[in-house]
Chains A and B, each alone.
Chain A
Amino acid sequence: MRLSNVLHYRDMRRYTKNPLEVRFEELLPLKLKNKVSGKGDRSKERACVHEMSIMFACFKKNEFDQSRCSNEINLFQVCANKHHIEKFKRKQNIREGNISLGKDNLTPREINYLLKKHPNP
């Protein structure tokens, strides 16, 4: 529809002649959809990759002697642990269908759920 409108020669002419006369046409409904894409859910950066690389660098320097890299190892493990717990929590939330309350960035799943409940008028 949009294409046909744009291609319509007469209209084209009209538009080009006097830009002030351009009339607004509502081609798509002027409201947001009740849905967001779930693609942005997963962050591109994997967890703890940075810590891992630091650790590997240290390993390389010290020929894989763990005792000399205890600090790096510790950091990595703390990170991995934290990530693991977070993952577990997230999974549990999904399983139980929990919705976080009073948080500013919601996951797409939560947004979808809320939008479904309270759609745009």
Chain B
Amino acid sequence: MSVMQKCVMIRRTANAIPINYYQRTWCSTKAAAPTDEFRVLNLKKKFVPPQSKKKYTKTLLLPPRETAMPVDQDWTNVWPGPKTFHPASVPLALRQGYDQKRAPPGKYGNAELMKIPNFLHLTPPAVKKHCSAIKKFCTEWPKGLETDEDFDKHFPMTIITTDYCHSSPTIKDPKARIVTIKVKLSAFDLDKHARDKMIRLVGERYDEETDILTIVTDRCPTRKQNYDYGIYVLTALYHESNTFEEWEKEKQEADMEHYIWDNNVSKKAYVALVEWPKKVSDDDVKSFSIENDLVGQKYKDAVTELLNNGEDTYTLNKYKEAVVGMLLPQNAQA
């Protein structure tokens, strides 16, 4: 019982307080007199007209700049650097946007035109002007580099980097750090072993058709670092491929690119066939020579070609011919 009463009480007070509170505050704010004397409760307040709104004076708008532009002005002075599109300073009757029923919106208040990049600072005359300005720093074209062949001969390495040009003031682009180095492998003057090792080391970066080695570096944050790294890799590759390591001697038949008949099972089989029914040992095989054996030579050629050039109808037919000549001499005669 008592608890409930309490609750009710609380609720009542809770109801009551805010009303009073606000009233009071209302009174206090309104009646705050500037005087130092006591505050007076002014019940019959006079109507005070609300303060009139501040009048905005119309700012004087100049006509857009484009109207004052002469037709033969120097545009590069008007738009010297990259800047977002501004309708008043571009004297073109531009429109952008698409509306099925109406004409495309004009340039004033057209945000689309500001969103897209512009090359107003890179008009052909501007480019020409820039070029003529930096021309004094250029040197003469070296003699003996007139043709592409000369170029390839004296400068076998090509370095490709890309600069990105934006409409925004910054010229930075993460893709600008990538450096591509292209070299013709024939320019390296490598011997047979070194060339082979180089190609194995480089893997897919070497293009067999054009004989060009391509190294792309993009792991460092700046272009300079990437370039240095690329050159370092190239140097390391060169020296590494020129050294002959101890383990390279362990290279086996399977690692060889070429099939050599003489130290393979095929010869053993052939010798066993010729020497039948004698059992042949490894020494016999090694000492066996096919110098005067036309059939054997034909067979050797066929097997070597089959395994080196890969199988196709031509090599298989050649192999077949050789084998038939060897195994079925009667058939070959017929």
A–B contact (CB under 8 angstroms): no
Q: Which residues of A contact B (CB under 8 A)?
A: none
